[in-house]
Amino acid sequence: MPEQQPATVLEKERLHRFVAAYFKDRERYLSLLKNHGSPLWVLDPSVLKDRARRFSEAFNACFDKTSYYFAMKSNNRPEVSAALLESGFGLDVSSGIELKTALNLKAEKIIFSGPGKTQEELSLALQHRDRVTLLLDSFGELDRLSALVSGSDQTSPVRVGIRLTTNPKGLWRKFGIVPEMLPEFWKRIAPLTHIRFAGLQFHSSWNLTPERQVEFIRLLGQTLARMPRDFNSRIEFIDIGGGYWPEEGEWLHFPETPEGASPQETSIPWDRVRPHYRIPGTPIESFAKEISLAVQTHIFPHVNCCICFEPGRWICHSAMHLLLSVIDKKNHDLVITDAGTNVIGWERFETDYFPVLNLSRPGLVERPCHILGSLCTPHDVFGYAYFGEGMETGDCLMIPCQGAYTYSLGQNFIKGLPGFVKL
Ligand SMILES: Cc1ncc(COP(=O)(O)O)c(C=O)c1O
């Protein structure tokens, strides 16, 4: 397992560049709030398209045959998937609900991945086998699919891949089968005429560097070297999943609490804004170079196939922003907003640092203030500081770059969900 890179203090210049870029468009965001009400999600499809272009250009420069699937779970707003379909991406879905959205959007290339697919979900995928590749998660799922296919009156075979688990220990082992079981899986699937085996998939999450993906590609190469020739010759694709962290890196309140851990410290010093921390990321072009080198070295000697990608976060995180307003100023350093963190569905801002911008009183000085939502829980935190020249009731706030794993997780908990507008 690669070492987690240490967090270092987030440089002031980097932070100011980020904040200034969004303050520049403040009039636009303020008028959206005026016209559509607060709180509000704002989607910028041009950002999605730029990200999709840069991502695919990076990998197309390194591989002859590629295919891209947007991971809908990272943001399930249909307009997001629609923009990515326009960019030539397919869709990666993980449930019947997501599959229905993809079908309604007329996606032609859909992969359906995930553990525990229900009979209804498998049946829906089978009905649309001309557009869906099913990524099988287990022997049991193969048996259930096989029973469903033999009971169906369609004659064309369903295209499937096999998901491989990247980590046989702990909770990640719930995904896929371990590579050592591939020979047995092949024995079971090869004779089935209505199920056409066409590829392999793996996914590892939350990668600030390509090390974890590269290491699994090396292991996969060793597995393929031992597999029979007729198995390898059937492989049309190897899908290396998503999990690319944006190159800005992971921004944190506390250096010691990456990956969603709870901070030890619950109070903050009020005489100053604490330093923020950053675990560095990697440009996508470097991911592409290192991954392609690994694939050339370990995979292509055994299998020459299309390489597929399922990015979610990298594509959508900077394309959607949250706008909200101060509903009550309770102290010079305590305000309550009109949204609660139910809008993003988890206590993200207790550990992750995202700057809060006061669009109504812009300024590049960050000032300490508890910016809390209106839910009946003290964990309803948007931030411990804001950028601006003061903070008053009625002020409009922005938290940029909330496009990934926020909108999809929003809950109708105590308060309702924000409005939505597409630029
Ligand atoms: C199978 C699979 N593919 C792709 C993704 C997308 O990952 P990310 O948004 O980190 O790129 C996920 C996320 O959980 C996943 O489970």
pLDDT at 266: 47
Which amino acid appears at position 215 of this protein?
E
CA nearest ligand 1 atom 12, residue: 242
Q: What is the pLDDT of residue 415?
A: 92
245 and 204 Cβ atoms separated by less than 8 Å: no
Question: 272 C-alpha to center of ligand 1: Å?
Answer: 38
Percentage of the chain lying above the pLDDT 90 cut? 89
Whether this model's pTM surpasses 0.75: yes
- Show me where the domains of the chain are located: 8-42+318-422, 46-260+268-316
Nearest CA to ligand 1 atom 10: 243
Residue 384: how many CB atoms within 10 A of its CB? Answer: 24
> Residue 206 CA: which ligand 1 atom is closest?
10
Test site for ligand 1: of 310, 320, 401, most ligand atoms within 8 A of the Cβ:
310
The domain 8-42+318-422 is placed in CATH, from the list 2.40.37.10, 3.40.30.10, 3.10.20.810, 3.60.21.10, at: 2.40.37.10
CA of residue 332 to ligand 1 center, whole Å: 41
CA distance 390 to 171: 45
In angstroms, the CA 124 to CA 96 distance is 7
Among 203, 158, 224, CA closest to 308: 203
Ligand 1 centroid, distance to 205 Cα (angstroms): 6
pLDDT in tens, 54-73: 999 999 999 999 999 999 99
Characterise 54 by phi-psi region: left (phi > 0), alpha (psi -120 to 50), beta (else): alpha
Angle (CA) 27 357 35, round 5°: 40
Reading the block at residue 349, the tokens are 């801002």
Q: How far is the CA of 173 from the centre of ligand 1 (A)?
A: 15
For residue 114, give the ligand 1 atom closest to its CA. 1
The DSSP call for residue 191 is: T
Distance from Cα 271 to the centre of ligand 1, integer Å: 41
> Cα of 206 to ligand 1 centre, how many Å?
9
Amino acid, single-letter form, for residue 285: E
Q: Which residues line ligand 1 (CB under 6 A)?
A: 71, 73-74, 92, 113, 203, 205, 241-244, 310-314
Query: For residue range 342-392, what is the model confidence (pLDDT) as tens digits?
Result: 999 999 999 899 999 999 999 999 999 999 999 999 999 999 999 999 999
Site to substitute for ligand 1 among 172, 205, 212, 320, most atoms within 8 A of C-beta: 205
Place of tokens 């060793």: 222
Q: Which two tokens stand for residue 168?
A: 């046989």
What whole-number percentage of the chain has pLDDT above 70?
95
How many whole angstroms from 242 Cα to the centroid of ligand 1? 5
Q: Phi/psi of residue 151, each to 5°? A: -85, -10
Task: State the distance from the centre of ligand 1 to the C-alpha of 93, rounded, in angstroms.
Answer: 10
- Per-residue confidence (pLDDT) for residue 6, from 0 to 100: 85
Q: What's the pLDDT tens digit per position in 314-338?
A: 999 999 999 999 999 999 999 999 9
Q: Hey, is 342 helix, strand or coil?
A: helix
Task: Report the chain's terminal Cα–Cα distance, integer Å.
Answer: 41
Which tens digits make up the pLDDT trace of 147-199?
A: 999 877 767 899 999 999 999 888 989 999 999 999 999 999 999 999 999 99
CATH of domain 46-260+268-316: 3.20.20.10
